[in-house]
Chain A
Amino acid sequence: MANQDAPILYGLMAELPSAQALTDAAAKVHAAGYREVDAYSPFPIEAVSEIVCDHKRSVMPKIVLAGGLLGLLGGFGLEYWAAVIKYPLNIGGRPFFSWPSFIIPAYECTILGASLAGVFGMLFVNGLPSPYHPVFNVPRFQAASRDGFFLVIKSKDKKFDRTAAKSFLEGIGASEVFDVEY
């Protein structure tokens, strides 16, 4: 537990020299049993994501599938309802339920539904937009969008102890360790 007189921390941030270093560090932190951990890099590093996310698969595929199905049913349903139930019209001698023609709009709706679900789902799951975030309090963090690699152990982690964590991070090759304040 963090001692009272210290300021309330969001966590500790370690800067690491390279992508490789970040990966190794992440692995070590995970091995050490820290779970409330996040890593920051200017480009995606699969290994790091895997470790940080504790090898859980992303939920995105399910969301996208749901969106797609919704689009498909919605689209085809609308066509059927409009052309067969609501206002059936003899058009060029074709049957009211001209399903071959209905396939195309339904198909497009499927893709539209899936894509919308994907993008907005991703933003939602990632808790974006969040223009304000504690990590931005660390001036050095701006490098994260250029060439900086960072690892954060959050204070809410059960094992979190400021001094212990600090020394641990320094131990695993952090070039520097910062306090991340709320």
Chain B
Amino acid sequence: MAMLEASADRYDRPPVVGSPHDAATVTDQVSNIVYGRTPLWWLGTFAVAFSIFGVMTISIFWLLIKGTGIWGINVPVGWGFAIINFVWWIGIGHAGTLISAILLLLRQEWRTSINRFAEAMTLFAVACAGLFPLLHTGRPWLGYWLLPIPNTMGMWPNFRSPLIWDVFAVTTYATVSALFWFTGLIPDLATFRDHAKNKLARTIYGIASMGWRGSARHWHNYESVYLLLAGLSTPLVLSVHTVVSFDFAMSIVPGWHTTIFPPYFVAGAVYAGFAMVLTLVIPLRPLFKIQDLITERHLQNMAKVMLVTGLIVAYGYAMELFVGWYSGHHAEKFMLENRITGPYWPIWWSLILFNVAIPQLLWAKRNRTSPMALFAISMSINVGMWLERFVIVATSLHRDYLVSSWDMYTPTKWDWGLYLGTIGFFLTLMLLFIRYLPMIAIFEMRTLTPGAKVKHPETHAKAH
């Protein structure tokens, strides 16, 4: 990858790395977060997160005992919180891959200090997302029937079903993200192996780093693979949310059956993802005093990305309305009327508020540069994106074609339990990650330090 050109700034933007920093100081600052003693706030938050995680465990246990009937779903609304949360989580995941892969290809070096963190977020978000499609089935213990495994029934999955596409897309996404993340970790694990305080830690990191020693020959292949992975992840991340959107777009349910879904789902995913990154990063900067590694500029760039993707999403909503009306189809037209004025109108309107209205504040530089404001706006987007999925899933189904089968969907305490539980699960994993692994890609940060700029020796040039 090309970190050779100067990171010294051509524009009046805050620098990517606060000076003065060299390879050593960068290394130590990030490592010390791991070597250092466990901060009290970490213990506190971990305790909270872990107990919420407990709620998830209970909800799952009860679900397996009694069946999906403990949820609010019914006929016509066969999908409820489970699928809403699935789409929400998987969407959040997307920012990570986008930052680490797409920005890498775009040579956006500012990505360097947040990509590791974002990738971890991706991984854990996908883990949460992955729970739901399995658990929402009536007989989860038969989940393996969705995989193409030879069996005594001579049966195979139905490859025409968008749900099978989901299985392939999500498992691939999870695997590739994990590989990408781990590959990035190897050199930093080596750093911990060499510098961690106690022997046990060194051994563990040593095993994990597989004997990495920074050999130029290794770097040679490493860099090439890393770039290729980035190249592969980019179409992958686009495909994943496209496939997720197919779950809806491929059906004939009014409000689902629409071609705008793939692009606007992907945009929505990035939107949600960046919101979540900000939500997590903004408090962490002061807590770990890493403002000079994750700088104002990072926040601003992310704010801009959110603004853009947010506008795409808004455009998506607009198109939905327009096409619904333009189609002239009775059911489509009614679906819109019902979303806006039907029994679930408050949800649709708050979606517009949280997802479209409030994010417009990002136009103002004042807000982009104020962490507090950014935090508030990202929170609004987190909520807004969840509401979007609720609108898509619930309000489309509850009043579809046949008037006689209209009904309402009301989530139960178990719906909420499992949803909140996964948030606890997510935070637990996040906290463990920032405590025990380098949450910033150290070796990539080194490349941004002044000392990393190398002139190609003319001696050598002459030799050829």
Contacts and interface: CB of A to CB of B under 8 A. Distances in A.
Q: State if A and B touch, Cβ cutoff 8 Å.
A: yes
Interface of A: 18-20, 23-24, 26-28, 30-31, 38-49, 51-53, 58-61, 64, 68, 75, 78-79, 82-83, 86-87, 89, 91-92, 94, 98, 101-102, 104-105, 107-109, 111-112, 114-116, 118-119, 121-123, 125-126, 128-133, 135-136, 141-142, 144-147
Contacts of B215: 38-40, 126
A147 B24 contact: yes
B222 A147 contact: no
A140 B35 CA distance: 21
B165 interface: yes
B163 to A, nearest CB: 11
B407 interface: no
Interface string B187-209: 10011011100000000001100
Nearest to A65: B228
A173 to B, nearest CB: 12
Contacts of A82: 148, 156-157, 159
Interface stretch (B38-46, B124-132, B447-455): B447-455
B194 A146 contact: yes
A100 to B, nearest CB: 9
A40 B171 CA distance: 36
23 contacts: A19-B454, A20-B455, A40-B213, A42-B187, A43-B447, A44-B222, A44-B447, A52-B217, A64-B228, A82-B157, A83-B159, A87-B155, A94-B160, A98-B159, A104-B239, A104-B243, A107-B239, A115-B180, A122-B222, A128-B212, A142-B195, A145-B195, A147-B22
Contacts of A47: 454, 456-457
B459 A28 contact: yes
Contact of A42 (B4, B176, B446): B446
Which of A18, A75, A102, A111 has most B Cβ within 10 Å?
A111
A41 B219 contact: yes
A56 B4 CA distance: 20
Given A44-B1, A44-B223, A111-B236, 11 more contacts: A23-B456, A42-B446, A52-B217, A82-B157, A82-B159, A87-B156, A112-B176, A131-B207, A133-B211, A145-B187, A145-B191
B160 A91 contact: yes
B179 A116 contact: yes
B284 interface: no
Interface string B213-239: 111111111111100110011011001
Contacts of A23: 454-457
How many chain B residues sit at the interface, stated as a range, is 35 or more
Which of A107, A109, A115, A141 has most B Cβ within 10 Å?
A115
Contacts of A92: 160
Contact of A51 (B211, B228, B460): B460
A60 B227 CA distance: 10
B24 A31 contact: no
Interface in B145-180: 148, 154-160, 164-165, 168-169, 171-172, 175-176, 179-180
B216 A41 contact: yes
Contacts of A109: 168, 172
B457 A126 contact: no
B206 A43 contact: no
A36 B253 CA distance: 66
Contacts of B243: 104, 108
B217 A126 contact: yes
A83 B190 CA distance: 47
Which of B27, B160, B182, B459 has most A Cβ within 10 Å?
B160
Contacts of A147: 22-24, 27, 446, 451
A104 B210 contact: no
Nearest to A120: B179
Contacts of A51: 216, 460
B183 interface: yes
A28 to B, nearest CB: 7
